[in-house]
Structure 1
């Protein structure tokens, strides 16, 4: 059996737009990945295909896909894309004209999809796919923290409220989660069990590379599914994979006059200004070859692993959703063809939930501290290059818990306390140290983390000095700037006081 898992996540980017980071990330991924992947899954649903893949959607991304500001801005972004396509179509360069024509058709289709299905938010779209049985939705903790390094009170609160948040949006409570960064430390399975989580994702090395079956962790009964790296890396790895093929559209080569992508990869060592024009027919032929190669790879892997363990084996192929369409332009087409080709080749396709129901489960085992980052440990999030974030984590955690524990939780809803907790969770997102470790928009990451830290500190300072008017004024101002979880109630954390 093959289980596809896609994980959709972007940090909280709304109201912080600036190229090349901020909201532009959100709108690019929305247009290039979320729209076509959802459309593709809708076609499979219309064909009556159930249990096609497991789709993780973090609460912070779900909030952005439903946010009125983001919805208006996304519509504007799509219109701007179409205007850029019109500009390209008027170019005297025939290659750019061709790009403009293709991009006009693509932008028009995206606008039609958005106006028809997405104008009232992403939740109805995703809920429809889940209700049809086509996908299993995974939840996760609020604001995407690196859970092992988070204070237990905040970790338990973020998980519990993240799952509740997902159930309110999608109409069903997810039994599974994609933990941020697949990060784990021993004992977290007990938190999962207490929160009603039945299964979660880890990276393959966490299970010693033995990913042929899900594993109950210790005596908890909570299942850990491991990503099959030999199969997953066939598609995308640190050094190779299908998206780097010469025929596919190059992500980095941009016509700076229009902002459109006009070239194919051509060759890994070919300078961007020497790349060949993109040829859709050439790319389409490459897609078919890579579909056939992937199906053959999966069949061989299942056969070999089944022989090794003496029973039917499971393969879990897991990726960021943004690979499909955003990073790899042809990805959604490839994925649909693969999902249709696998059953024809005799491969059962399912979700993590259906794999558990069909007893692709092995013996219990203990698993070590891990993540899916570099080294499969925690170095990306607590290494020497991000020691500032470790200190920030400790300082903000001490501050927010100290202030919240002094507030009168019996006095009713406390907007000051609510915003303090929001700022703490946003400052402690796992994305900020990741971006610094990988030197990917590191300045933006630091700016965002320290902006939320500043907001928390100035609200906390006013509250601790007894200046409730100023604390409330500051909380209101910061809430207008960032309010991804308007239903968050800090009083629910008070019950966790130790």
Structure 2
């Protein structure tokens, strides 16, 4: 370890299963927006770093349920159409907006996204991701199949979801990841034993779980599994519940739309400024803000590392972690800021590496006993186990009891009806539905999706128990065609 210390950037790429589930204002529209504005530019940035010979640039979490959507033929056709429509909408903006330079800027962005997709993405995400992993530009984190809140799962369901997710990642990129971004950073004492059994060697928690002492990775309990804590002092400089760089007056406003085109022609202008009073977006002003905020962030990291070295007498570690969708989708200028920071930090004497690289550099401290925690409101479980979602929690508990009561086929062979039944159960148990209800973010949509998957599970479970051989396979095939991630899923690994 040398220089100022070590910095690890962790990006978490996740959306719930949205393919085949409708368009605006929810469903597939969310997927296509994030794909166009975050995944395309972030992957492009990483590919350019790879071409420069850069290694261990960042740690990238990709949830299995998102990877499945980014490889799904239906989604690939859908996003291609969406990108073409974006270009048409940008052309239409040229007839509506007084600021012709802005409509031209939008059209160039749409054209560039379409070019990236048609030249690199037509066969899905996995070939791109595999090259990034094989070239060691990124360290890949995986996770449980459908991003469930693990502390609320029965241990058998939890273990099956994790094995299924890791196996899915191995199918897509050639090997299972050694680290995971635990969904919602949810932790319950003892989870590290499940991780060890599944071959997981490191995972992420939020800083308060370590009482803010995030300057090194820590073995959990008596296991060899390491936890990394998110440094909130640094992470919140970018994005916090109250403030952060994306709120700067010069940046593109996420919430203000020109509804005839569906585009965003305004800058933030001010927090108390009404949408109709916001000033037009000016890319040059935003670019200057990117330079200012990148320099500020580098200074924050350097000061934090110097303080840690003064406190501990050795170089320290800073882990900053964010949703990938922040970079480009929620914060239009995020990819430009990201590139500026990743180039400037090494010039400031900071070693930039992955979580794996931090371990190799010796940033491992003493064992720790972790409390129950998450990265949600209150840093506890209230978002996923609170009063607002008591009905969802109750339904999920009942679903798991029914799931574990199912029996294997007497033949001992794989059963597509049982497989689809378990697949629907895992989709119903996604943490996203409770999050969206608690945060009142498309709550009705979330309740509908949880209910739909729960009802499909119950329907198939009833067919299995009643032995209706003809109806079961037909219905399972219908649902598999409509809602079919994780074709490798083998329910015999779960049911007795």
TM-score, scaled relative to structure 2: 0.98
How far 1:307 sits from its partner (Å)?
A: 1.5
Write the deviation string for residues 326-351 of structure 1: whole angstroms up to 9, x where unpaired: 00000000000100000001111000
Mapped partners of 1:449, 1:6: distance in 2: 26
Offset, 1:410: 4.3
User: Do 1:206 and 1:370's aligned partners in 2 also have CA atoms closer than 8 Å?
Assistant: yes
Do structure 1's residue 360 and structure 2's residue 363 form an aligned pair? yes
- Which residue is 2:258 aligned to? 255
Match of 1:94 among 65, 87, 98: 98
Q: Offset of 1:359 from its aligned partner?
A: 1.0
Tell me the distance in 2 between the aligned counterparts of 1:409 and 1:358: 52
Determine which of 50, 54, 58 is the counterpart of 2:55: 50
Q: How far 1:384 moved relative to its partner?
A: 0.8
Tell me by how many angstroms 1:471 deviates: 1.9
2:3 corresponds in structure 1 to none
Decide whether the 8 Å contact of 1:460 with 1:471 is kept in 2: no
Which residue, out of 317, 324, 327, partners 2:327? 324
| Secondary structure of the structure 2 residue equivalent to 1:255 | coil
SS in 1 for 2:458: helix
Aligned to 1:64: 69
Does structure 1 conserve the Cα–Cα contact (< 8 Å) formed by 2:408 and 2:492? no
How far off its partner does 1:43 sit?
A: 1.0
CA–CA distance in structure 2, aligned partners of residues 450 and 98 of structure 1 = 46
On the 8 A contact 2:186/2:205 being kept in 1, the answer is yes
Structure 1 residue 306: Cα displacement:
1.6
- CA distance in structure 2 between the aligned counterparts of 1:451 and 1:126, rounded to whole angstroms: 32
Structure 1 counterpart of 2:468: 467
Equivalent in the alignment of 2:440: 439
| Secondary structure at the counterpart of residue 443 of structure 1 | helix
The correspondence for 2:373, drawn from 345, 357, 370, is: 370
The answer for the alignment partner of 2:421 in structure 1 is 420
Shift of 1:82: 0.5
Secondary structure, aligned partner of 1:326:
coil
Q: How does 1:335-350 map to 2 (within 5 A)?
A: 335-350=338-353
Residues in 2 aligned to 1:18 and 1:50: alpha-carbon distance in whole angstroms: 38
Deviation at 1:388, TM superposition (A): 0.7
- Name the TM-score, length of structure 1 as normaliser: 0.97
- In structure 1, the residue matched to 2:337 is 334
Q: Does 1:156 align with 2:159?
A: yes
Query: Which whole-Å CA distance do the structure 2 matches of 1:139 and 1:190 have between them?
Result: 17
SS in 1 for 2:494: helix
C-alpha distance in 1 between matches for 2:173 and 2:98: 46
Provide the secondary structure at the position in 2 that maps to 1:486.
Answer: coil
Structure 2 stretches lacking a partner, 5+ long: 1-5
Distance 1:409 1:278, change over 3 A: farther
Give the ranges of 4+ consecutive aligned residues of structure 1 lying more than 6 Å apart after TM superposition.
none
Residue 80 in structure 1 maps to residue 94 in structure 2: no
- 1:388 and 2:383 are equivalent in the alignment: no
Cα distance in 1 for partners of 2:311, 2:185 equals 26
SS in structure 2 at match of 1:348: strand
Q: Using the alignment, how far apart are the partners of 1:67 and 1:218 within structure 2?
A: 40
Equivalence for 1:20: 25
Question: Per-residue displacement from partner, 1:25-67 (whole Å, max 9, x unpaired)?
Answer: 1000000000000001111111111111000000000000000
Provide the residue aligned with 1:4 in structure 2. Answer: 9
**RMSD of aligned C-alpha atoms?**
1.0
SS of residue in 2 equivalent to 1:230: helix
Encode CA deviations 1:425-471: one digit per residue, 9 max, x unaligned: 00000000000000000000000000001101111112212212222
CA distance in 1, matches of 2:415, 2:214: 46
SS, match of residue 137 in structure 1: strand
Matched, 1:267 2:270: yes
Aligned length: 491
Distance 2:210 2:102 in 1: 46
Distance in 2 of aligned mates of 1:472 and 1:114: 37
Go from structure 1 to structure 2 and tell me whether the alpha carbon gap of 1:410 and 1:36 turns closer, same or farther (over 3 Å shift).
same
CA distance in 2, matches of 1:166, 1:33: 20
- What is the CA–CA distance in structure 1 between the aligned matches of 2:465 and 2:56, rounded to whole Å? 52
8 Å CA contact 1:409–1:491 kept in 2: the answer is no
Could you tell me how far apart the structure 1 residues matched to 2:466 and 2:46 are? 54
Counterpart-to-counterpart distance in 1, 2:337 and 2:424: 40
